[in-house]
Homo-oligomer: A and B are copies of this chain.
Amino acid sequence: MAVYTHVPAEEMAALLARYGLGGLRSAKGIAGGVENSNYLVEAEGGRFILTLYEKRVDAGDLPFFLALLDHLADRGLPVPRALRDRDGVQVQTVAGRPACLIEFLEGVSLSHPTPAQARATGEALGRMHAALADFTPERPNSLGLVGWAALAARCGAAVDTIAPGLSARIAEEIAFLDAHWPTDLPRAVIHADLFPDNVLMLGDAVTGVIDFYFACTETRAWDLAVTHSAWAFSGDGADYRAEIGDALLAGYEATFGLSDAERAALPVLARGSALRFTLTRAWDWLNTPADAMVTRKDPLAYLRRLDFYAAHPECFPA
């Protein structure tokens, strides 16, 4: 991920003035996050992230995301709030794009989390779900069961170039999920993308939960399943790390908890998560030139997770 839109320092300084944050001291384009342009900006009044929303984020969704972050921040969750300028405005136009000046949070994304760090993440996810119990705005999930079937159809047989037989395996799994997907579990707004990249930590403490741009109204326990599939495996998906998975679940149970029905559904929800990332990675794989200067993420790393979940439902204790 790169900086896509160049913001002249002169325009950045003028923007800061609207927030009364003093002079611009430094600005570096930063990599990472979804496909937005991000700058780490230092003003006399503090450090901030300036995000310009590029094509992947629909500007019409911004009010939902900003309300969500305000709601969580108001309840003490460590999420980066978009600042309001002197006129109370959160969404600016910078270099022709919708843009927000966002709080900077300390902490680093871990590559090799420990069980204690996974537990803290499970706790933070539970606290977030508790804080969202009274959050009323909704946003549909375009990447739910129906969306997966549509995406599988758009990928078609081309996925067999990634791995022989992959299209048949995907069709089979969609049929399984369609038959077994729980439809009566509690729904709520969820993060839906709580990868280690999106959790900032200092030591064993969560100091930030970031990148809410997939947040949507969904089966709430699916958020835990997504987090489990993102955290509890080696990067290539070949090794399940029970101590990480268990710690994550224990942390969530300690702060929010699952009903018996949700607990029983976790093996199916986790298969859904593994399929979702297999599919989106396969789509990106097929549509990213091999020589493009972005790292293509291996879809098979999630197919391996899918195989594991299908073979080991007992990794979620009943």
- Interface size class for chain A? 35 or more
Check A10–B106 contact: CB distance below 8 A: no
Residues from chain B with a CB closer than 8 A to the CB of A26 are: 104, 106-108, 200
CB distance from A208 to the nearest CB of B (A): 10
Question: Whose C-beta in chain B lies nearest to the C-beta of A114?
Answer: B10
Partner of A108, one of B12, B31, B112, B289: B12
A10/B112 contact (C-beta < 8 A), A30-B31, A294-B2 known: yes
Shortest Cβ distance from residue A115 to the other chain B in the assembled complex, whole angstroms = 15
Verify B293–A291 contact, CB threshold 8 A: no
A40: nearest residue on chain B (CB-CB)? B28
Once the chains are docked, how many angstroms separate the CA of A13 from the CA of B138? 40
Instruction: Tell me, yes or no, whether A27 is within 8 Å of chain B by CB.
Output: yes
Instruction: Name A4's closest neighbour in chain B (CB-CB).
Output: B293
Known contacts A26-B106, A32-B28, A40-B28; decide if A10 and B111 are in contact (CB<8 Å): yes
A29 within 8 A of B: yes
User: Nearest CB to that of A30 among chain B residues?
Assistant: B28
A10's nearest neighbour on chain B, judged by CB, is B112
27 A–B contacts, CB within 8 A, in A order:
A2-B2, A2-B293, A2-B294, A3-B32, A8-B110, A8-B112, A9-B110, A10-B111, A12-B108, A13-B108, A23-B202, A25-B106, A25-B108, A25-B202, A26-B106, A28-B28, A28-B30, A28-B32, A28-B40, A29-B31, A30-B31, A30-B40, A40-B40, A289-B292, A292-B293, A293-B293, A293-B294
